[in-house]
A and B are shown apart, each in its own frame.
Chain A
Amino acid sequence: MISKIISHEWLQWRRDSRLKWLAIFLVVISAFALWHQINFQSTLLKKRLKAQEDSRQEWLSQELKHPHMAAHFGNYAYKKPTLLHCFDPGLTIYTGTSVYMEPHKQNDFLFSQSQESDTGIRFGWLSPAMICQLILPLLIILLSFNSINGEYEKGTMALLISQGANFRSVLIAKTASVFLFFEGFITLYLLVTAYCSAVYLGTVIDIYAVLYIWIVYSLYCFIWSLSGVLVSSLIKSSGTSIALLLLLWMFTNIILPRGSANIAENMHPLITNQQFKQLLTASIDKGIDGHDPKNERAKKIEKELLLQYKVDSVQQLPFNFEGFIMQQSEAYSSKVYDHHFNQLFTTLKQQKKIQSLFGIISPYISLRNISMAAANASLETEIDFQQQAEHYRRSFVQNMNNDMKDNSAYGSFKTYRVRKDKYASIGDLQVQNRTMQWSIPTLFIEHISLLLWVLFLMILLFISNQKKVYN
């Protein structure tokens, strides 16, 4: 019986010219969003690969320099796109996918808008994820707002109920007809996006990530289908039900995400980029300056070394004191950096937690967080990328400083040059993209929130079925 009502519902939709236009709109906007993201990401990838190649060649072909000066030549870290990156670019619109690494300078990319995101910032919002997160609920509302009360208004519910159907079957069929229609769209859209991503970006096929994101988007689609049918069954007038559903959409998808961000920012304020830099500089200045071994800390280290090696001057040390102090300075600035960045990460995570909690009243927020994580573009994965880059930067700088310490003599800063094979011995950073399994533990609240929404709406629909047959 349910399948009969569903096919009947779809037949009516096919005949409705408004829905034809709706379907055309959905296909056009979805295709454009996908084309835009594929185009944007593939252009970015080509530029990045070229830049990576050029930068490697420049690194290898640079003249023989002092290792510390060579380290200042710098190096780039690039984040490879994942299969779902085209579907949901997530935070990378703001943070970018590349960082520049050199001695003494920790990258602060979490603060700033990405340099590569000129287009991304302007058009980045138009992604397949955005279509599914924001536009799809609106279309679900348009198809479901009068699914039940419209039948009452026309008098056709009496026909259905009196001729063998029961109200519960009608409720299930109406929900299923809306859900399955959009479920088909989501499935197809995800598969096409993954295919295009694999073909045009050469991304690794991650079936689990696609399956996972499909389940989560299906839940979201189910939540909105249930909401539409539920409101339509509880509210007598279809005019009132569409107004109520649009208000619900505005509240959960527009007001709450922004409101929760403001609340999180007020509760756990984030310092500005400038303040953060000043904080780092002040903390390092109070300590060791790598280019000034005469400050107090440098003197203390010098004294300890002379005592340890039982020598009278740094020139008598078995290694180059300048290289050693340079690395000590680097280590100290890393310590300062870790201290402040951990505070920053804590603040960001606290903000994120508050937003995640708002997901309990806005499934959009929960879905958005999960979607970004699945696409390897969430706060956690961006922090992880930043940490991978920082870890590499430190080992790269340490490698160059150790070369200076172990192979050059004190006072030879201007004359010592690295060996010819040194440059080739330092490889590029191979950024490790995090899998879905890595992100899942960070999404507990989001998962619970979506499941609670489904449960809550199903209970309400059950109650609605108990209370109302035909009045």
Chain B
Amino acid sequence: MNPIIELKNVFKNYGDKQVLKGINLTINAGQIIGYIGSNGAGKSTTVKILCGLIADYEGTVTVAGINLSDNPIEAKRKIGYIPELAELYDVLTPMEFLSLMGELYDLPTDIATDRIIKMLTAFGLENNIHQRMDTFSKGMKQKVLIISGLLHNPDIIILDEPLSGLDANSVIIVKDLISKLAKDGKTIFYCSHMMDVVEKVSDRIIFINEGMVIADGSFLELQQQQGNESLEKIFALMTAKEGSNQAASAIMQAFDSQ
């Protein structure tokens, strides 16, 4: 099977700080990848490289057989990116904003409009199609963001904390959507701190810590390696310098000294 995403020896520095230290990943089509790391581990940097937001990295990144450095625009057309709570163009309506996104992907207007209406309706925003987004709640904006990433029917969907701000019903919709998209042959690259969700939806989990991949396998495989623990525990065991319990105690001690 041809890999749909391939990262070979990817390094990235911010000034003197090396954020990625030689990432190697091969992801096949139809997989749901849970990409997990603590703050500053290099998770967001990997995502930004894949989405073409960072160009000055070392190594090779291939998306659907297209070298990202050589043809970023073409590669990006294969990807749908759903960031965590980006501010939208608040003065626009969802229809105007999503139409722009459709135009950026060169989607024919009639197809884009049809998809926008159907997706907004699916998320319960059918009455807000022509309403300015500066009146929208955090969750409503997140729904619009999710639609913008899916609008062009991409082969790869990268989600960066997509459930942030969503209400319970919408979380269920997104989880179901992820499963259905995967069944449809889409590749899902899912970054989240919400371990229980990752545990349930992912068929492959990658841990990244200090710019390196430290674990890669299915949840069952990880459990076999680390004992029958939850994903959260496994993550803590593999990444925390101190146990979480110890960290919490240290915080409480800070109050005691007053």
Interface residue B91 (Cβ < 8 Å from any Cβ of A): yes
Q: Tell me whether A155 and B86 are in contact (CB under 8 A).
A: yes
In the complex, whether A199 has a CB less than 8 A from a CB of chain B is no
Decide: A1 and B96 in contact? CB cutoff 8 A: no
Measured CA separation A461–B4 after assembly (Å):
35
Which one, A15, A158, A160, A470, contacts B91 given CB within 8 A?
A: A15
Stretch at the interface among B24-32, B45-53, B201-209, B239-247: B45-53
**Closest CB in chain A relative to B135 CB, distance in Å:** 13
B96 in contact with A11 (CB, 8 Å): yes
- Choice from A4, A8, A158 contacting B83 with Cβ under 8 Å: A158
Q: Please list the residues of chain B having a beta carbon within 8 angstroms of any beta carbon in chain A.
A: 14, 48, 51-56, 72-73, 76-77, 79, 81, 83, 85-89, 91-92, 96, 100-101, 103-106, 132, 145, 148-149, 152
Task: List the B side residues contacting A162 at CB < 8 Å.
Answer: 51-53, 76, 79, 81, 83
Q: Which residues of A contact B48 (CB under 8 A)?
A: 158, 470
Q: For the complex of A and B, list the 7 residue pairs with the smallest distance between their C-beta atoms, beginning with the closest.
A: A155-B86, A470-B53, A15-B91, A154-B87, A162-B81, A164-B104, A162-B51
Within 8 A of B (CB), among A411-458: none
Specify which chain B residues have a CB less than 8 angstroms from the CB of A15 in the assembled complex: 91-92, 132
Question: By the criterion CB–CB under 8 Å, are B87 and A158 in contact?
Answer: no
* Shortest Cβ gap from A376 to chain B (Å): 46
Known: A162-B76, A162-B81, A471-B14. 16 other contacts (CB 8 A): A4-B103, A8-B96, A15-B132, A16-B91, A155-B83, A158-B86, A159-B83, A162-B53, A162-B79, A163-B76, A163-B149, A164-B73, A166-B72, A469-B53, A469-B56, A470-B53
Contacts of A154 in B (CB 8 A): 86-87
Q: Tell me which of B79, B81, B100, B105 contacts A158 (CB under 8 A).
A: B81
Give B77's nearest chain A residue, CB to CB.
A164
Which of chain A's residues have a CB closer than 8 A to the CB of B149? 163
Q: Is A166 touching B104 in the complex (CB atoms < 8 A)?
A: no
- A469 to B91: give the CA distance in the assembly, Å: 26
Q: Is there a chain B Cβ closer than 8 Å to A240's Cβ?
A: no
Closest to A14 in B: B91
The CA-CA distance from A155 to B51 in the complex, in Å, is 14
Interface assignment of A346: CB less than 8 Å from any CB of chain B: no
Interface string of A379-421 (1 = CB under 8 A from B): 0000000000000000000000000000000000000000000
Give the distance in Å from the alpha carbon of A4 to the alpha carbon of B103 in the complex.
7
Q: Is A270 located at the chain interface by the 8 A CB criterion?
A: no
User: Min CB distance, A466 to chain B, in Å?
Assistant: 9
Report how far A339 CA is from B173 CA in the complex, Å: 92
Please, which residues of chain B bring their CB within 8 A of the CB of A16?
A: 91
Known: A156-B86, A156-B87, A471-B14. A164 touches B76 (CB 8 A): yes
Taking Cβ atoms with an 8 Å cutoff, the residues of A that contact B are 1, 4, 8, 11-12, 15-16, 154-156, 158-166, 469-471
Contact of A159 among B54, B86, B132 (CB under 8 A): B86
Task: Give, as a whole number of angstroms, the nearest-CB distance from B127 to chain A.
Answer: 20
- Which A residues are CB-close (under 8 A) to B104? 1, 4, 160, 163-165
Q: Are B132 and A161 in contact (CB under 8 A)?
A: no
- Closest CB of chain B to A14's CB: distance in Å? 9
CA distance A186 to B221 in the complex (A): 68
Inter-chain contacts of A1 with B (CB < 8 A): 104
CB contact between A164 and one of B14, B83, B105, B132 (< 8 Å): that residue: B105
Given A158-B51, A469-B54, A8 contacting B86 (CB threshold 8 A):
no
Residue of B nearest to A13 (CB): B91
A166 nearest in chain B by CB position: B73
A4→B104 CA distance, assembly (Å): 7
Q: Which residues of B contact A165 (CB under 8 A)?
A: 104
A469 to B69, CA, bound (A): 12
**A418 nearest CB across to chain B (Å):** 79
Of A160, A161, A164, the contact of B106 (CB 8 Å cutoff): A164
Q: How far is the CB of A155 from chain B (nearest CB, A)?
A: 4
Give chain A residues whose Cβ lies under 8 Å from the Cβ of B105: 163-164
Contacts of A158 in B (CB 8 A): 48, 51, 53, 81, 83, 86
Query: What B residues does A471 contact at CB under 8 A?
Result: 14, 54
- A12→B92 contact, CB < 8 A: yes
Report the separation of the CA atoms of residues A365 and B149 in the bound assembly, to the nearest whole angstrom: 49
Name the contact of A163 in the complex, choosing from B81, B85, B88, B89 (C-beta under 8 A): B81
Assess whether B91 is in contact with A12, with CB atoms less than 8 Å apart.
yes
Name 23 A/B residue pairs within 8 A (Cβ), A-sorted: A4-B103, A8-B96, A12-B91, A15-B91, A155-B85, A155-B87, A156-B86, A156-B87, A156-B89, A158-B81, A158-B86, A159-B145, A159-B148, A162-B51, A162-B83, A163-B149, A163-B152, A164-B104, A164-B106, A165-B104, A166-B73, A469-B53, A470-B55
Interface-centre pick from B48, B89, B145 (highest chain A CB count, 10 A): B89
Q: Are B100 and A8 in contact (CB under 8 A)?
A: yes
CB-defined contacts of A159 to chain B, threshold 8 Å: 81, 83, 86, 88, 101, 145, 148
Give the nearest-CB partner of B56 in chain A.
A469
Bound-complex Cα distance A166 to B86 (A): 18
| Separation of A158 and B80 alpha carbons in the complex (Å) | 12
Complex CA–CA separation, A155 to B106 (angstroms): 22
- Minimum Cβ distance to chain B for residue A22 (Å): 15
Q: Is the CB of B86 within 8 A of A161?
A: no
CB-CB nearest in chain A for B100: A8
Tell me the nearest residue of chain A to B160, going by C-beta. A158
> Considering only CB atoms, which chain A residue lies closest to B88 in the complex?
A156
- Chain A's nearest CB lies how many Å from the CB of B86? 4
**Are A161 and B91 neighbours in the complex by a CB distance under 8 Å?**
no
Residues from chain B with a CB closer than 8 A to the CB of A4 are: 100, 103-104
Task: Provide the bound-state CA to CA distance between A156 and B81, in Å.
Answer: 12
Residues of B within 8 Å of A469, CB to CB, are 52-56
Q: Is the CB of A470 within 8 A of B54?
A: yes
Distance in angstroms from A80 CB to nearest chain B CB is 50
Kindly state the separation between the CA atoms of A162 and B105 in the bound complex, as whole angstroms. 10
Q: Which residues of A contact B101 (CB under 8 A)?
A: 159, 163
